[in-house]
A and B are shown apart, each in its own frame.
Chain A
Amino acid sequence: MRGARYATWVAPVAAVALTATACGGGGSSGGGGANGVVSSSWGDPQNPLEPANTNEVQGGKVLDMIFRGLKKYDPKTGEAKNWLAESITSSDSAHFTIKVKSGWTFSNGEKVTAKSFVDAWNYGAALKNNQKNAYFFGYIEGYGKVHPDTGAATATTLSGLKVVDEQTFTVTLSQKFSTFPDTLGYAAFAPLPRAFYDDHAGWLAKPVGNGPYAVDSYTKGSQMALKKWDGYPGEDKAQNGGITLKVYTDNNTAYTDLTAGNLDLVDDIPAAQLKNVAADLGSRYINTPAGIIQTIAFPFYDPAWHKPGQEKLRTGLSMAIDRKQITETIFHNTRTPAQDWTSPVLGQQGGFRNDLCGAACEYDPAQAKKLVAEGGGIPGGTMKITYNADTGSHKVWVDAVCNSINRSLGNNRACVGNPVGTFADYRNQVTQHKLSGPFRAGWQMDYPLIQNFLQPLYYTNASSNDGTYSNPKFDKLVDQANAQTDRTQAVNTFVEAEKVLRDDMGAIPLWYQNGSAGYSDRIGNVALNPFSVPVYDRIKVK
């Protein structure tokens, strides 16, 4: 009797639940299975969607779906695998011969040839095209002529690029760079079809690439519908019918929409929801390491912060920070205390060393106090950690770091946060060297190489060396590593360089950032790649 009553009660509920799930999926067309469409949260890309002009995650997400380059980074291991490249060969780490696989086309039918790459790279490097990632081509010979630091360009094409035949081209670098082939998976090196140059505005309105997805419709600022491209020749064919990227004004709203069943995938769980996410989503919450590290950089251009013996001060400050407690309480374990200056996604073979920073990154208030005193104390008695207050909830952790430092040093005036209103203003003050104290720094890798974590940030006068750290010994080791022809040797030499950085404590490593995502029970097989972007082509719709 009881069982029967229960059954009558269950049936209507099940029916309601079924209709509810049918309504879910955010109006995505097509049913389930291989034709099911996944809806995913998106942010309005900051720059026009061109491969060499996209330097942030939101635009990068799209490029990752509609383009395939010479190499592709394995979504699990981050290893650079040949994709459109038949082979990339070199005998001296400076001259490379690249053979492009035949049989690949763009989704408009045009063949992908060696020229598709050479033209795209020339376009990306040319000063007149204003491409924000132009410096990626900086290693190629002739870059200084097409993209001089000042004045007008004296050439339109890179002299280091030569088309040999339809599927072959050669690259000459102006300096040795052993890991150059591994950088070629980055979106800036993607091939471009003729339509890009012939009808640029039209292309931007509806980009055409050679990846597993093709753009179906694009309403700027609100949504982009991508559908599976059936003619895609690669082995990573899309396992769903398409992806609809929806622009959200706020990631909190996207999360709410996910919990209400109107959205399938959110790839950025808002900080405020981290404490609820386990209860809301259970196993449908992903929290995996990404190639992002956060550090505190120092203003070495300021004489007060550039005195001999101050490496003790910097090391002391590093030891005064209770990384474990901060990552647990503030970030709910979406950050991992840093143990070196790279990222765990590189793996041991890629140069990640979980013991490199060692005691210098361990919380030890007594030792910290001693070292800070030996290093001459904090210049001026108080240091301000500058950060931008508009995004990324930086205020919370900067305050926590300062608290930790103050507690360790037993001095309430040792450290305070110094907020700057907008990211642009913050970057402005950083690049113009206006800051007189430490500042927050972050690095999201362009490609999973130890070189990318060290050279742009700490090499003398490097593009992102905002604190102007400089050590001839470090520079020499980086040069040596780049000249190595053997990969393992190169990585090991980079690790040696990193040890120099550690002994100087050129920047305080804080923690590695995880990618976090959540998804609805309508989809499965969701994972984030080392760039913390969902591996869209593998998502399966139930």
Chain B
Amino acid sequence: MGRYVIRRLLQMIPVFFGATLLIFLMVNVMGDPIAGLCGERACDPATAAQLKREFGLDKPVWQQYLTYMGNVFTGDFGTAFNGQPVTELMASSFPVTIRLTIVAIFFEIVIGITLGVVTGLRRGRPVDTTVLLLTLVVLSVPTFVTGLLVQLLFGVKWGWIKPAVSPEAPFDELIVPGLVLASVSLAYVTRLTRTSIAENKRADYVRTAIAKGLPRHRVITRHLLRNSLIPVVTFIGADIGALMGGAIVTERIFNIHGVGFQIYNGIVRQSTQTVVGFVTVLVLVFLVANLLVDLLYAVLDPRIRYA
């Protein structure tokens, strides 16, 4: 187990460097970011040259990359174009997005798995058909439509929520945006769980457990669910990263000043430091989440061993 973890951690290193290098190159391909800083007017050449020097943009890309990575390891993510250190932007936006992600994951787990179990056990019944139809609707409607619709109905027409989340973004204001963000994944989780449960319901060990006379809830939670959760856990694990990075749409609709908003701003203003910094952290989140998922397998199914 220990060796497995170490091996996985070592594997992360090339992935990490490869991913950051790619992002770095992609942002640089877009051209000179200083050009956009002075509005419709060209920056005067002297100021432009000096700004480039300050942000290290006058050096070749490989050198920029090395300097950047060197700084990252000392905890310096550079400065955004508005003069704020990128770490400061991270400190203000990551907590917000983490809260939003927690809310979304919570809904995915609670609603998604519950619906999945219920429908999986009652395959072909009206409940199953209804839920299947509902998830189909959710899957086929893009998030921004769901988001705007919910905002309009709950926020403006009925006034149940505030259409815009305040800058502090406490948990209670994030419930509805979190639900919107989770909606598509939630539908996937439901369907995954349903299929998995329905398959395993006929398995020998379930029949044995029932034959032993175990109470129904124990058969379901201990035997059936535990074995059926492996694909679901894989999905949710990968989803943590996807939700944090992919919240751009939801964050824009509900005015959430999180990671998605910062990355969007960084891209529009072509602020290399902001984009690369945030994406670097997101890459780490992805990698760690995937590692955790793999380790969880062993807990769910002791037959899976890591030597």
How many of B's residues come within 8 Å of A, CB to CB?
55
CB-based contact A428/B31 at 8 Å: yes
With A48-B83, A260-B163 in contact, do A423 and B36 touch (Cβ < 8 Å)?
yes
Contact assessment for B42 and A253 in the assembled complex, using a CB-CB cutoff below 8 Å? no
Instruction: Determine if B35 and A222 form an interchain contact, defined as CB atoms under 8 angstroms apart.
Output: no
In contact, B83 and A47 (Cβ under 8 angstroms): yes
B98 to chain A minimum Cβ distance, whole angstroms, is: 17
Q: Is the CB of B42 within 8 A of A464?
A: yes
Interface residue A107 (Cβ < 8 Å from any Cβ of B): no
A444 at interface (Cβ–Cβ under 8 A)?
Answer: yes
- Which of the 9-residue segments B61-69, B130-138, B151-159, B188-196 touches chain A? B151-159
A-B contact count (CB 8 A): 158
User: Is the C-beta of A262 less than 8 angstroms from some C-beta in chain B?
Assistant: yes
**A456 CB to nearest B CB, Å:** 7
Which stretch, B118-126, B226-234, B264-272, touches the partner chain A? B264-272
Q: Are A219 and B167 in contact (CB under 8 A)?
A: yes
Residue from B30, B50, B252, B254 in contact with A422 in the complex, judged by beta carbons closer than 8 Å: B30
| A-chain residues with CB within 8 Å of residue B50 when the two chains form the complex | 127-128, 130
- Contact of B253 with A253 in the complex, beta carbons under 8 Å: yes
Partner of B47, one of A20, A46, A131: A131
Q: Is A180 an interface residue (CB 8 A)?
A: no
Query: How far is B81's CA from A431's CA once the two chains are assembled, in angstroms?
Result: 20
Q: Which residues of A have CB within 8 Å of B84?
A: 220-221
- Cβ-defined contact, B37 with A46, below 8 A: yes
Instruction: Kindly state whether residue A348 has any CB partner on chain B within 8 Å.
Output: no
The CA-CA distance from A27 to B41 in the complex, in Å, is: 39
Q: Is A391 located at the chain interface by the 8 A CB criterion? A: yes
Closest CB in chain A relative to B169 CB, distance in Å = 9
* In the complex, chain A residues 237-262 whose Cβ is within 8 Å of any chain B Cβ: 246-250, 252-254, 256-257, 259-260, 262
Contacts of A429 in B (CB 8 A): 31
Would A253 and B254 be within 8 Å (CB), given that A220-B84, A262-B162, A463-B44 are in contact?
A: yes
Docked-complex contact A424 and B30, CB < 8 angstroms: yes
Which residues from chain B contact A425 at a C-beta distance below 8 Å? Answer: 30-31, 35-36, 270
CB of B40 within 8 A of CB of A390, answer no
Picked from A150, A249, A424, A444, the residue with its CB within 8 Å of the CB of B252 is A249
B268 near A423: Cβ-Cβ < 8 Å: yes
B267-282 interface (Cβ within 8 A of A): 267-270
Whether, in the assembled complex, A421 has its beta carbon less than 8 Å from a beta carbon of chain B, the answer is yes
**Closest chain B residue to A127, Cβ basis:** B46
Whether A55 and B252, one on each chain, are in contact in the complex, defined by CB atoms closer than 8 angstroms, is: no
Q: Is residue A72 contacting chain B, with contact meaning CB distance below 8 A? A: no
Which chain B residues lie closer than 8 Å to A79 at the CB level?
Answer: none
Distance (whole angstroms) from the CB of B97 to the closest CB of chain A:
13
The answer to whether A253 and B46 touch across the interface, beta carbons within 8 angstroms, is no
Pairwise interchain contact B41-A422, C-beta atoms closer than 8 A = no
> 5 closest pairs, A vs B, by CB?
A424-B36, A222-B167, A48-B83, A428-B35, A424-B270
Chain A positions within 8 Å of B, measured between CB atoms, are: 20, 27, 44-48, 55-56, 127-128, 130-132, 134-135, 147-150, 204, 219-223, 246-250, 252-254, 256-257, 259-260, 262-263, 390-391, 421-431, 441-444, 456, 463-464, 466
17 contacting pairs across A/B (C-beta < 8 A): A46-B81, A47-B37, A47-B83, A48-B83, A55-B38, A130-B47, A130-B51, A147-B47, A222-B257, A246-B167, A249-B251, A250-B253, A424-B30, A424-B31, A425-B270, A427-B36, A464-B41
